[in-house]
């Protein structure tokens, strides 16, 4: 499986994401600069954290118009596994690939620490290696991670089991403690916590590695060639 790590001006978690795929998962991965106009040949797309374009206007609001995003949207709509972490989640929201919006943390402070998450849905291509209801430890590092959506959208997310992760505690004010959601099709996941920073015990937790292993396993199963 070959992954693309999309790099915007201001990305700063691209190397973490690259390490998670190349060294921890053992799969192929390339950095793809935001000006690229093709994602042909990539089986998975990763939008890393950071401060794309300095987070001017709103986090992810400018990055959403980068040339490569046309290809990200096209690939996501064609079923390619697409993961946006932290700023990458914000970009996915701005691009309309996921519903809702981000606000400043309710404490109006940057939060950077390990947090506990509950796996709300393990029947996805991103979470099949977890147990339903399992509590995992993944670090957060954000100032605008307070997820918001209206009542209608929340009801839809709940009904379709699109809420993938919730915070155990009230971390940033996110509605219903939402930490990660996916699209209806099930191939686009946005989450504020950083699984790429939790892929080996030396980092304090290896719970994030199973997310990438889930992507790989599900991709392989869907690409089995029947004789």
pLDDT digits (tens, 9 = 90+) for 160-172: 999 999 999 999 9
Delimit the domains of the chain by residue range.
2-222
- CA 206 to centroid of chain Cα atoms: 17
- Does residue 226 register a pLDDT over 70? no
Task: Say which of 94, 120, 144, 196 is annotated catalytic.
Answer: 196
Task: Say which of 86, 94, 144, 149 is annotated catalytic.
Answer: 86
Taking CA atoms, 38 is separated from 71, 75, 83, 227, in Å, by 6, 10, 18, 32
Confirm whether 86 is a catalytic residue: yes
For the entire predicted model, the pTM comes to: 0.95
Q: How many CB atoms lie within 10 A of CB 147?
A: 28
Q: What is the pLDDT of residues 39-80, one digit of tens each?
A: 999 999 999 999 999 988 889 999 999 999 999 999 999 999
Task: Say which of 120, 144, 149, 194 is annotated catalytic.
Answer: 194
Confirm whether 196 is a catalytic residue: yes
Q: Do residues 216 and 29 touch, judged by C-beta distance below 8 A?
A: no
What fold does the segment set 2-222 form as a domain? Answer: Rossmann fold (3.40.50)
Q: What is the pLDDT of residues 79-121, one digit of tens each?
A: 999 999 999 999 999 999 999 999 999 999 999 999 999 999 9
In this predicted structure, what is the pLDDT of residue 56?
Answer: 86
Confirm whether 19 is a catalytic residue: no
In this predicted structure, what is the pLDDT of residue 65?
Answer: 95
β 111-119/163-167 pair status: antiparallel
- Does residue 225 register a pLDDT over 70? no
């Amino acid at each position: 499986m070959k992954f693309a790590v999309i790099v915007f001006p201001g990305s700063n978690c691209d190397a973490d994401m690259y390490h998670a795929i190349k060294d921890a998962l053992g799969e192929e991965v390339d950095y793809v600069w935001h000006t690229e106009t093709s994602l042909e040949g990539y089986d998975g797309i990763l939008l890393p954290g950071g401060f794309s374009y300095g987070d001017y206007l709103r986090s992810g609001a400018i990055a959403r118009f980068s040339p490569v995003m046309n290809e990200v949207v096209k690939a996501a709509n064609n079923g390619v596994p697409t993961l946006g972490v932290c700023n990458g989640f914000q970009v996915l929201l701005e691009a309309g690939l996921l519903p809702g919006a981000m606000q400043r943390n309710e404490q109006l402070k940057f939060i950077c620490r390990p947090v506990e998450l509950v796996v709300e849905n393990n029947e996805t291509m991103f979470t099949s290696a977890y147990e339903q209801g399992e509590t995992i430890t993944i670090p957060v590092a954000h100032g605008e991670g307070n997820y918001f959506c209206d009542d209608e959208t929340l009801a839809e997310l709940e009904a379709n089991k699109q809420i993938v992760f919730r915070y155990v505690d009230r971390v940033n004010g996110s509605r219903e403690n939402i930490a990660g959601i996916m699209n209806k099709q099930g191939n686009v996941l946005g989450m504020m916590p950083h699984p790429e920073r939790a892929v080996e015990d030396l980092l304090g937790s290896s719970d994030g590695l199973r997310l990438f292993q889930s992507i790989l396993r599900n991709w392989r199963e869907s690409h089995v060639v029947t004789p």
